[in-house]
Amino acid sequence: MITCPVCKSENNDGDLFCQDCGSRLTGPTAAVPPPIPPVPVAPPAIAPAAIAPAPAPAPAEAVGESLGAPAAPSAVPPAPPAEAPAPAVGVPAPVVPGAPIVCPNCQTVNDADFRFCKGCGTPLTAAAAPAATPPAPVAPTGPRLVVTSDPGKGLTFPLGATTNVGRLPGNEIVLSNDSYVSSHHAVITQEADGFYLADKGSTNGTYVQIKQRLKLAPGDVVKIGDTNLEFNV
């Protein structure tokens, strides 16, 4: 075995390049073997054709009998072998999982798990499958609050029957990055005729320190702490 000097992976004796990183394998064991000289082929000897002696003439009686004898039935010729169907033009050969990989550069046959050719170091990468097209983002719909100030600009919070807003977990809308938001700051409730906003006794108030419930209209901007949220339906 030959140890790659770059990635330390083990390669077979006689490999010229590392099967994992493509680096050239140096050392006496990685030397290129000397070419094998072709074996001379002697031309075939042609034997002289043998001349057969002429047949002796047959007696007249034998000739008459031969002419009068019925001819032997001719043998039926064998049927020609069926031709194999021609391969379809333009149809690629099926890819067999685990089959050896032939290097496109030097035509060396490599094992199926080789990443680089052992003969020339060319990367043996399979054709990448087409990347899946990511689904198009779906615009939020329905009653919601959208953050219009930094940080968190663009965040969208859907509104349910009761939506609590505050800085601590447990609220449906958590504004943990805003130190001016109280733990449980405000609540938005849905009624038959719309959505209503009410302060929950926060320290800094909810949009000019409102003290009573306020019906929200589309486009209203609610200021909670230092965060602006726009109401949309």
Confidence class for position 160, pLDDT limits 50, 70, 90: very high
- Which pLDDT score, from 0 to 100, does residue 79 have? 63
**Which range among 116-130, 137-151, 164-178 has the greatest average pLDDT?**
164-178
Task: Note the pLDDT tens digit of each residue in 49-78.
Answer: 555 555 555 554 443 444 444 455 555 566
List the structure tokens of 97.
């999982």
- Which pLDDT score, from 0 to 100, does residue 120 have? 85
Q: Taking all residues of the chain, what is their mean pLDDT, rounded to a whole number? A: 72
Say whether pLDDT at 82 is over 70: no
Say what the alpha-carbon torsion angle 83, 89, 95, 100 is, to the nearest 10 degrees.
70
**What percent of the chain is predicted at pLDDT more than 90?**
8
Say whether pLDDT at 208 is over 60: no
Please give the C-alpha separations between residue 146 and each of 11, 156, 158, 216, 221, in angstroms, as whole numbers: 60, 4, 9, 14, 9
Q: Look at the block and give the residue holding tokens 């075939």.
A: 44
Instruction: Specify the higher pLDDT residue, 70 or 174.
Output: 174
Pairing of strands 162-166, 173-174: parallel
DSSP class of 98: T
pTM for this model (two decimals)? 0.38
What is d(CA 133, CA 192) in angstroms, rounded to the nearest whole number?
42
- Which pLDDT score, from 0 to 100, does residue 161 have? 93
